[in-house]
Amino acid sequence: MVALVLIIGWLSLSLVKIKLQNDIVNKEVVDLESKIENLEDSNSSLDKLIAYLKHPFFLDKEVRLKLNYKSPDEEVAFIYPDTSAKISSGSLNFDEQLARLPNYVKWFWYLMGR
């Protein structure tokens, strides 16, 4: 009778150990499957990026931007900034503009630390 109890106890402990190990392995499998899924998503997005970078439209755009390339049938217009424009005197006179502001606006700017 004692031997039967010992055998049943040993079998139940063995089953508990096997169940715990099975749970650990299943958790690792789920983690690895999620990592595989993330890597596959990353791989597909990288494949799309590579396909985009190899596309002739992208190459044409990059050549135009970085190497100032133009096709033979294309005309280019240069636009230069106007250097003859003078700064208006109204923007230079800060004290005069400050005097024109209402008092509540002055307090707002004072309290905001500006």
Chain segment 1-48, per-residue pLDDT in tens = 889 999 999 999 999 999 999 999 999 999 999 999 999 999 999 999
Q: Are 54 and 61 in contact (CB under 8 A)?
A: no
**Which has the closest alpha carbon to 36: 67, 92, 84, 28?**
28
What are the φ and ψ backbone dihedral angles of 102, each rounded to 5 degrees? -65, 160
pLDDT at residue number 53: 93
Residue 113 — left, alpha, or beta (φ > 0 → left; ψ -120 to 50 → alpha)?
left
